[in-house]
Amino acid sequence: MQKKRVLITDHAHPHLAQGLIRFGYEVVEQPAISMDEVRQVIGQYQGVVINSKIRMDQAMIDSAVRLEFIARLGSGLEIIDRAAARKKHIAVFSAPEGNCNAVAEHALGMLLCLANHLLRADRQVRHFSWHREMNRGWEIAGRTVGIVGMGHTGCAFARKLEGMGVRVVGHDLYNRDWVNRLPWVREVDATTIRREADILSLHLPLSEETRHYVDKAYLSGCRQGVVLINTSRGQCIHTADLVEALESGMVRGACLDVFELEKPDRQLEEAEEVYRHLHQMEQVVLSPHVAGWTVESLQRIADVLVEKIGDWIQKGNDSEKSL
């Protein structure tokens, strides 16, 4: 009897392939495979493991005539047409538990870097310049940190803040599972969190509801001089509106790991002036969508997916028992 096959389309920890092989699958690893190449071969596979470069849209799912499951290396499910997958009884797995701590640590690191002018100070010292007063920082203790989106990463960020002397408020329109588990975080509504937070951290999935969630109107309801952190999805922020708010001082600073346009060539082609302004600003800390990319999270994501797929197999491949 021919083994079922799984295609891994991006770099993954060896634990993932090893686990799938234990479950009886034949594993094909092609981390450099393109979207077009996946379309050509997806019909041969019962499972596929994807990251952000591969989108399991309606057309891809229609081509995947043998597909039984889709596994996402990480958390963002906007790259999967979940309705189409559900219609075809294809199970969908993600692993937000695997990289939420990495994202939380990165967000906190960016915030502390911004508050203490570490990027500028580092550059100056490397050039034998010594400017202590210019680089006088500000402390986060005593301030209010608002967390928008209290899923795995939002809760992980809240745990990092416990004991740091900050007041933490959280808002999630749909999820309240965290309320009793994080007693130091006060649940507030969307208006209150903007009104009270000195620092706002976004931990939102991307959907039509959250696209451009932070725009000029949203920022007008925030405290003057708010600091914005985004390690979730770049499209949750209207970049031009944020740049304008940074220039006016309405927003004191920003820590951005994600962007509306994440490839430099696309940035230059589609929004050159906006990104040029953003990149020149001293009051921003930027990183290339790596908040969840640590040595530990690479392994943890693999382990989470192996555990979830193993449970799904034990339960009889029920597509309703996924995620």
Give pLDDT < 50 ranges for the chain.
Answer: none
For the sheet containing 251-256, what is the strand order? 185-187, 167-171, 144-148, 199-202, 226-230, 251-256, 284-286
Homologous superfamily (CATH) of 100-286 is: NAD(P)-binding Rossmann-like Domain (3.40.50.720)
Give pLDDT tens digits for 27-71: 999 999 999 999 999 999 999 999 989 999 999 999 999 999 999
Strands (E), 204-266: 226-230, 251-256
- Helices (H) and strands (E) in the chain — how many of each? 12, 12
Output the pLDDT for position 268.
Answer: 65
CA distance 72 to 97: 12
Q: Are strands 251-256 and 284-286 parallel, antiparallel or unpaired?
A: parallel
Q: Do domains 5-94+296-314 and 100-286 have the same CATH topology?
A: yes
Output the pLDDT for position 2.
Answer: 85
Residue 193 structure tokens: 């969190």
Domain boundaries, given as residue ranges, for the chain: 5-94+296-314, 100-286
Output the pLDDT for position 272.
Answer: 84
Alpha-helical regions (H) of 200-263: 216-220, 239-248
| Whether CATH 3.40.50.720 fits 5-94+296-314 | yes
CA distance 185 to 161: 10
Residue from 112, 111, 311 nearest 229 by CA: 111
Output the pLDDT for position 271.
Answer: 83
For the chain, how many residues are written? 323
CA distance 303 to 16: 7
